[in-house]
Amino acid sequence: MPVTAELRPAFAPPVPERIEDIGISQNLLIDLLARRLSLDGTNNLTGLSQSLKLSLGVVDYLFRTMRQQQLIEVKGMIGNDYWVSLSGAGRALAAERFGLCHYAGPAPVSLKEYHAAVKAQAAEVDINRRVLRNALSDLVVTDELLDQLGPAVISQTSIFLYGPTGNGKTSLAERLLRVYHDAILMPYAVEVDNQIIALYDPVVHHRIETQDSEIDPRWVLCRRPCILVGGELVPGMVELRLDESSGIYSAPLQMKANNGIFIIDDFGRQLISPRDLLNRWIVPLDRRVDYLSLRYGVKFQIPFEVMVVFATNLDPNDLADEAFLRRIHNKIYIEPVHEGTFDEILRRVATARNIPVPPTAGQDLRDLCLRDGRTELRACYPLDICNILMSISRYEKKPLQLSRENLERAVNLYFARS
C-alpha cells in the first residue's frame, strides 16, 4: 500500500543511486554480494538488487567491478538483465568472507546515518486527559492517574511505576504505545568498523507493508517499537552480542527499542541486579546516548532515544540511590483500587464474558476479598476470580452465576490460607 501522510516518517532517505551515496565501503558491499551469490548459486542483477536492498545502478556497478576482478562469470542474459554466478576466484573470496561473517542480507546503513535517523524520528506526542483516556479505554483509570501519566508521556524520558502488585502497572505501560499514531524507518542492519549489527527483528518490530520507491529500501517502515522484559533480563541483553558461529552482532534491547518504549517489568527481580542495571544506564538516561563495544574493543556511541518504563512492586528507595532516582523525573504510584473502580472492573470483566452481574456482586466480592486480614482491593481480583468461576462452570457443566456462594468458592481457591 502507499504511505499515507500519517505514516510518512520524519526521516525519509532517498534511494542511493551511486556507490558513493551508500555510506559504507565498497569492499564490504563486494563481500556482501559475494556471500549472497555463494548462497544463490546463480542470480540476475534484479534479484541481487532485491535481496541486498540496493538500487540496480549500484548492483550493476558492483557487478562490473567484480567482473573486472574476475570474481563473477556471466551465464547469460534475459532481456537486458545479466544472469551471473561466482567464478573460482569469487567462490574462494566468498568462502574466506564467510569465515569472518555469514551475513548476506540487506546492505547495512552507516552508524552516522543511523544516528541521524533516530534523532529525526524522536517521538513528540500531543495529548490531553481525553486523548489519554481514549488510549487506555479498556482499563478503568482515574482522572488523577491520567493527569500524572500525561505529562510523563509528553516528556518522553523515563517513568517509574510502583505500588502493590496486581493493580495494572504492566497493563498501563504496555498501552502507552497507543499514544503514537505515526511510523518510523528502521534499518535492517547497521555497519560499525566493517562489522554488521543486525537491528530489525520481526519478532518485536511490527512492519508496515508499503510501496514507496522513493525511500532507500535498506530501511523498514515500522510502528514505533515496544519491548517488554521481565525476570529473564540478563546483562548480555543490554550489550552487543556476537554470534560466534555467524560473526554477526545482535543489537541490544535498548537499541531495538529506539524511538519507542522499553518496559522493564517486575524491576528488581531480574537476574541482573538493580544496581548493576541502573549503573549501566545512568549516563544513557541522563544524556540520551549509550556506548557499546565490539568484541575487539572498539567503542562507539548510539542514540538512546527511548522512553524507559520501570514497573515494580518493590520500594523504589530499596532499589536505587538518590543519584539514579533523580534521573527518573516521573515516579508514579499506582495505588490499590477504590470501591467504585473495583465494581466497574468487575462489571466490565463480567460483561465481556456475558456473565450476568447481580446488583450485590460488587459488594459481595469486595467483602470476600477483604476478609481474613486483607486490607486492600487489587485491580486484578475481578478478572482472576471470574476466570476461576468460568473454570468451575465448565467443570460442573452449570451456568455461571455471580452469586455470593459461587464468589466465596472462587475466593477460597484464589487466596492462600495463612
**In the block, residue with C-alpha cell 486484578:** 380
CB 249 within 8 A of CB 196: yes
Phi, psi of 115 (to 5 degrees): -55, -50
Written as one letter, the residue type at 408 is: E
Rg (CA), the chain: 27
CB 26 within 8 A of CB 61: no
Instruction: Count CB atoms within 10 A of the CB of residue 167.
Output: 22
**CA angle at 394 for the pair 389 and 398, rounded to the nearest 5°:** 85
DSSP SS3 for 298: coil
Query: Which are the contacts of 176, defined by CB distance < 8 A and separation ≥ 6?
Result: 135, 149, 153, 226, 261, 307, 309
pTM over 0.85: yes
Which stretch of DSSP H or E encloses residue 349? helix 339-352
Which stretch of DSSP H or E encloses residue 151? helix 143-155
In the numeric block, which cell numbers belong to residue 232?
529473564
pLDDT tens, residue order, the chain (418 aa): 445 555 677 788 999 999 999 999 999 999 999 999 999 999 999 999 999 999 999 999 999 999 999 999 999 988 889 999 999 999 999 999 999 999 999 999 999 999 999 999 999 999 999 999 999 999 999 999 999 999 999 999 899 999 999 999 999 999 999 999 999 999 999 999 999 999 999 999 999 988 788 899 999 999 999 999 988 888 889 999 999 999 999 999 999 999 999 999 998 888 888 888 888 888 898 899 999 999 999 999 999 999 999 999 988 888 877 777 887 889 999 999 999 999 999 999 999 999 999 999 999 999 999 998 899 999 999 999 999 999 999 999 999 999 999 999 999 999 987 6
- Beta strand 183-187 with 219-223: parallel, antiparallel or unpaired? antiparallel
Sheet holding 81-86, edge to edge: 42-44, 81-86, 72-78
Domains of the chain and any CATH numbers: 25-104 (1.10.10.10), 118-333 (3.40.50.300), 339-414 (1.10.8)
CB 131 within 8 A of CB 149: no
